[in-house]
Chains A and B, each alone.
Chain A
Amino acid sequence: MKKLAVSLYAAITIALMVWGFYQAIYVAPDDAMQGYVFRIIYYHVPSASVAFLFFAISLLGSIAYLAYRRARPAWAQIGDAWALAGAEVGVVFCTVVLTTGPLWGRRAWGIWWTWDARLTTTLVLWLIYVSYLLLRRFAAGPQVQTLAAVLGIFGALDVPIVYMSNRWWRTQHPAPVFGGSEGSGMAPSMARVLLWNMLAWLCWGLLILMLRYAVERKQQRAAAEEALEMLEANG
């Protein structure tokens, strides 16, 4: 039953991805100023939104781990698994943002990169979460999960700074399209395409997030069983 539900969800996600791609390439009109290259936004913006969402999940997981690590270790492990899954899948989406952005910038601005507030804070966010993953991968000892949770919380503090950066400071990066100043916004024909792609990438992201969470939970159980076996063998 669970397998059927996952397969159905995966099929719907793939259908949405195909629909989103079709809309972005064949249905959306060219932008009046930027022309055809504007279509990069249909992958760039949804990836950024999903990355922010997953870093928020990582934040909640980290807080849950720190809150329950003594009183309810089983809950803490669940929180830790969500924190790791959110951070890892978030980094994947953030990597997409940091590669599609410069590709668009090269055509729109004539440069691959500039050290403006939006780009720099996004790079810092990516670096913080990459260091989180490196800590999880290479550090050993009983405090690793606690240290990672603290780092995860500090990393998430950068998310609102990234989001607000082109509102607080004058940046080379375009002004916010949604929720920006008066006169901001998008033609309905383009906004519809962007929303389809946001939905598609959100479904895709949730699918791989659930997969990553399942892998991590399995790994936690295997590690606990191994530790128990070692204790029994030594005792």
Chain B
Amino acid sequence: MQEAAILDHQFVVAAYCVTWAIQLSYLAWLGLKWRAQKRNALSSARNPRS
């Protein structure tokens, strides 16, 4: 009984952790993309081609 409760708890923790890992990884990737875009815009404003 006790072992089943511990296992249940571990599965719930795993599901919640996986959810947050996926969401925060995506947010981090989006942040990196945003920062790279900002940097590119700044550099192209400083060094125009024409």
Q: Interface of A with B (CB < 8 Å)?
A: 21, 25, 35-37, 39-40, 43-44, 47, 89, 92, 95-96, 99-100, 103-104, 106-107, 204, 208, 211-212, 214-215, 218-219, 222, 225, 229, 232-233
Overall SS of chain B's interface: helix
Q: Which residues of B contact A25 (CB under 8 A)?
A: 12
Q: Could you say which residues of chain A place their CB within 8 Å of the CB of B7?
A: 107
Q: A25 to B8, alpha carbons, bound, how many Å?
A: 12
B34 touches A40 (CB 8 A): no
Q: Give the complex CA separation of A211 and B27 in angstroms.
A: 9
The interface of chain B, by Cβ under 8 A from chain A, is: 4-5, 7-9, 11-12, 14-16, 18-19, 22-23, 26-27, 30, 33-34, 37, 40-41, 44, 48-50
Contacting residues, chain A, for B8 (C-beta < 8 A): 35-37, 107
- For B30, the chain A residues whose CB sits under 8 A away are 208, 211-212, 215
**A44 cross-chain contacts in B, Cβ below 8 A:** 15
Closest approach, in angstroms, between the C-beta of A97 and any C-beta of chain B? 10
- By beta carbon, the residue of chain B nearest A207 is B27
Contact B23 A222 (CB under 8 A): no
Task: Determine the residue in chain B with the shortest Cβ distance to A95.
Answer: B22
Our pick among B9, B18, B34 for the contact of A100 (Cβ within 8 Å) is B18
13 other A-B residue contacts (CB within 8 Å) besides A47-B19, A103-B18, A232-B50: A35-B5, A36-B8, A37-B11, A43-B19, A92-B23, A96-B23, A100-B19, A103-B11, A208-B27, A211-B34, A212-B30, A215-B37, A222-B44
- Which listed residue, A36, A99, A211, touches B22 by the CB 8 Å rule? A99
A99 CB contacts on chain B under 8 angstroms: 15, 18-19, 22
- Bound-complex Cα distance A208 to B40 (A): 22
Contact B26 A218 (CB under 8 A): no
